[in-house]
A = this chain, B = another copy of it.
Amino acid sequence: MAESTSRIASGNEMKKHSTSDRPVSLASFHQNAILTVLGDAAAAAVLKRGALVTLALRQRIYEPEQTIVDVYFPLDCVLSVVARMLDGSEIEVGTIGREGMSAFPLLMGASATANSCYCQVRGTAIRIPAEVFHSLAASEPAFRQVLDRYLQAYVNMLGQLAACNRLHSIYERCARWLLMTRDRVDVDRLPLTQEFLAMMLGTGRSGVAIAAATLQNAGFIKYAHGTIDIVDRAGLESAACECYEVARDQFGGLLRSVTR
């Protein structure tokens, strides 16, 4: 595992993404559950200071112990908060999609965190400077309120994840992960290798391969060279552990409010 992990990490270093910044359009606001609640004046500030960016696979959002300078509101991408252990292995400890945003530590008065965060499924997001985020949170009660609600859902999801990681099988967690990610992009096709999924789940690729094969034989998914298709969503739900529903219900309103 250590070897494969380092190979991935070195792959990251090689990629230098040219994020083509574009101006934000008001229309894109409704694609993110947090931005949706902004009033006209606040929205204007985001239009002025924010940018619409395209995030590539594994593009870094923030690093451990480094000051967070930008806040990302995903529109159709998915971010992962990842903990890195001393032995170099990584494991996902949080998923962020169009129901939320990337900068929890800022909400709690911190400027950095112990984990790193990077793009897990490529797509677009709205990026604003941290100071704009702070002023919005201070001046817009509705904004602060939905952020608190999001934070609460996130904390509950974290607890469920801790339990899930201990109590449930790879097969169940694999199905759960796919569903949670799918809900955040609202598309049935995900660009995703088994090796990457294995890292997210904190397990070996062989384990994921077996679980994926089982899911595929059951007719729930279809795997092909870095892209996975969710064929039978209901079937996948039946394969997932209860944690999926628990987490979904936590984010319930937030995810629904931007469902197309």
Contacts and interface: CB of A to CB of B under 8 A. Distances in A.
Interface of A: 81, 83, 85-86, 89, 91, 93-94, 104-105, 108-110, 113-115, 145, 148-149, 151-152, 154-156, 158-163, 165-167, 201-203, 242, 246, 250
Contacts of A165: 162-163, 165-166
Given A114-B250, A151-B108, A165-B165, A94 B159 contact: yes
30 contacts: A85-B242, A86-B242, A91-B162, A91-B163, A91-B166, A91-B167, A93-B158, A93-B163, A108-B149, A108-B151, A109-B145, A109-B148, A109-B149, A110-B149, A110-B152, A113-B152, A114-B159, A114-B160, A114-B250, A115-B156, A115-B159, A155-B158, A158-B158, A158-B159, A158-B162, A161-B162, A163-B165, A163-B202, A165-B166, A166-B201
Given A81-B159, A93-B158, A155-B158, 6 more contacts: A86-B242, A108-B155, A109-B149, A110-B152, A166-B201, A166-B203
A244 to B, nearest CB: 12
Q: Which of A149, A154, A163, A165 has the most CB of B within 10 A?
A: A163
Smallest CB-CB A-B distances: 9 pairs? A93-B159, A165-B166, A108-B152, A162-B162, A166-B202, A158-B158, A109-B148, A83-B163, A165-B165
A108 B157 CA distance: 14
> How many of these chains are in the complex?
2
A134 to B, nearest CB: 13
Nearest to A245: B86
Contacts of A159: 81, 83, 93-94, 114-115, 158
